[in-house]
Structure 1
Amino acid sequence: MRNNPTEADIEAQARAMHDSGLVAHGYTYLNIDDFYYLNPATTVDSGGRWAIDPNRFPHGMAAVADYVHGLGEKFGMYLTPGIPVAAYQQNTHRSPAPAGTPATSCPTPAGTRPTTTSATARCTTSTTPRTRPPRRRS
């Protein structure tokens, strides 16, 4: 399931965890790896964010999370940090992530560059241009 997750598989796994009693014993996290979105090298949304695969998740990730949460479980989604290649190539990497999702890209006003400090991608900008340090002369 890791390389080919589907909405039905994730919901079935959540239901099995609940019905088997695992949740009652403290196993409350259901995490999904990064195979739920389309190829970020070629496909992003208009804001430059990873695009969820609609064939595998026809109701979207919010619906899956709502289902998992409804069973008393927690739902985690792995997200590759950084700006998707397609966002950079399409120059769409300037839009922030929608509310309630991890920041996948940071606003980058002219003359600044994004800096992330953790996997949750708290964004700050630096106005210092990226330059090489001076070479030491011997």
Structure 2
Amino acid sequence: MRGLAAQSLGYLMNDRNVEFSEELSLEEQAERKVGWLLKLIFAGTATAVGYQLFPYMGDNLIQQSVSLLQVKDPLFKRMGASRIARFAVDDERRLKILEMGGAEELVKMLYTAKDDRTRKEALRALSALSASAMKLRPCNQLDL
């Protein structure tokens, strides 16, 4: 049908290059398909690289958050506690935080904090960690 329309249009306009326009549209369609294929390959590669790199960044961020709890400034302590509360979403991350000494630092933060906002943030982070703390040691053995 397209061929018939191209021929009739060519006769009406006395232009012989109309036949090539259909071939160009096929070439354009092929270029578009190759373009989408290249975009999908790039997206797949970026996803695979990100999947390999982000777990290492996560461990580093958890260690930095625990280190923030050791600083004297209450603002940095609150930031560290807030980050720990956000990272403690599954048992694996909670256990990493506990192994790095995050729970002990949060308890020390509760005792040494001079303002209520810092205490509140420490309690929020401890409550996020509480599910794994009970799995590691029973309540009567916690060193509070």
- Determine if the TM-score, normalized by the shorter chain, exceeds 0.5: no
Higher relative contact order (CA 8 A, sep 6+): 1
Query: Of the two, which has the highest radius of gyration?
Result: 2
Higher helix share: 2
Higher strand share: 1
